[in-house]
Every structure is written in C-alpha cells, then in structure tokens.
Amino acid sequence: MIIAFGITLYYMFAGISDIDLGERKLFNDVTLIPLFFSTVLFAMEGIGTMLPIENSLLKPQFIGCPGVLNVAMTAVVTLYTVIGLFGYLRYGDNVHANVITDLPEAEIPAQVAKCCIAAAVFFTFMLQFYVPSEIIWKKLSPKMSDKYHNIAQIVVRTAIVIFITAIAAAVPKLDAIISLVGSVCLSTLGLFIPVVIDIILNLGENGDFGFLRWRLWKNILVIILSWFALVSGSYYAIDGLIND
C-alpha cells in the first residue's frame, strides 16, 4: 500500500504544475453531498471490527485516548483527505471513482501501483469481514469433523473471498453500490443503532450522560446525521443506478 500511495501521489504532483487550479470548483453540486457522506461512511466500515479486537487485547486501555484506534483512524482520514484533494486538483471533474484508474495504463510505475493495490485489497479485506466470517464459521463448525476442522475453515474463508471478489468484478457501477451500501448499512449499524443503545442504557437511575447531558445531545446529533445519510444517500444512489 505504501508503494501504491507513493506512486499515485507522484503522478498527482507531477501533473498539477501544468494545470490551472483556478478552473477547479471549490464547491460542487449540493445534491452530491449525500453520495459523498455515504461513501465516507462506507470507507469507515472497518470500525465494526474494533469491539472484537478490543475484547481480544491483553491491555484494552490501548484503545482509549489517544490510543491505537484514534491514532490509526487519524492516519486513515489523513490519507483519504490527501488522495481525495490532490486527486481532484490533478484530474478535475474527469476523475474516476477509483483514482488509481486515472493513472497512465501504459507506464510501468502505474501498473505496479495497480498490482500493489489489488494485492493489498485481496489479502487484507477479509480482516474487515472478520465478524461476519466468525458468525458463519460458528454456525458451520459444529457440523465439521475435528479431523478436517482447519481445512474446512480455510475452504469456508476462501469461498467467502471468491464470492465477494466475484460480486465486485461483476458490478458495473461499483461507486454507486458503495454509496448505497454505506447509506443503508453503515448509517443504521454504524451510527443509529449504537447511539440508540447508548441512550437506552443511560436512561435509568444509574445512567450518566455527562456534564449538561452532552452525550445525549451528541447522540441526538448522530441520529439526525444517520437518518440524513440513510434517506438522502439511498435516494441519490438508487437514482444514479437507474439513470446513469
């Protein structure tokens, strides 16, 4: 990934000097904001693995502030921002949903970057599928013989990888699908349901919303954002799938 990021940034910075940055829009169509918000939510789907990881840590306090989670997410958000900003400055409105496809196809460094991205995604995306794969395996493992336990687990995980890869290869409008999944799944599972649970748990006599009940107001704001992402993001994503 480091090699791919380095090559991608090289192509971005190498071409920016020849471009009139005054032609780039500071703001785009307001109707694209829900799609942006949904895509950002989808990009943060790895947050679902945090609780299982925290439960497995020898010292769970490392998750706290600043902690491993905050440091890692700061690095991730920084990378997203840098690639998104300079990708648009370099390629403008013609930039693709995946900026790696904007690199020159005939040049070897660009091909190396694409191969690195493909390899990194193929070998690491299953980490973000850790929770669903564990749920599937717990349902299947009692039916497996102890003798073939490890082989069966490898086969199940391989089948999941192949299935998901086939879907990604078969979908023609992957960016719209990403926005749709982000707006529907992440807005509910990642935003709405967690804060509702937090509110319910703190409504009793022993509940604590903090000074001036700031956690309650924070949860209400997150609920509003989740519904905004769900309704508007789903509408524009489906509209894009139908009309584009």
Rank 5-14, 27-36, 169-178 by mean pLDDT and report only the highest. Answer: 5-14
Q: At what angle do helices 234-243 and 174-181 cross, to 10 degrees?
A: 160
Residue-wise pLDDT for 39-77, tens only, equals 777 776 666 666 666 667 666 665 666 777 778 778 888
Give the pLDDT confidence score for residue 49 in this predicted structure. Answer: 66
Give the pLDDT confidence score for residue 187 in this predicted structure. Answer: 80
Average pLDDT for residues 182-194, to the nearest whole number? 80
Give the pLDDT confidence score for residue 134 in this predicted structure. Answer: 81
Give the pLDDT confidence score for residue 221 in this predicted structure. Answer: 92
Nearest residue to 42 via CA among 221, 156, 168: 168
**DSSP secondary structure string for all residues of 26-78:** SS--GGGHHHHHHHHHHHTGGGGGHHHHHHH-SSGGGGSSSHHHHHHHHHHHH
Give the pLDDT confidence score for residue 185 in this predicted structure. Answer: 78
Average pLDDT for residues 168-191, to the nearest whole number? 76
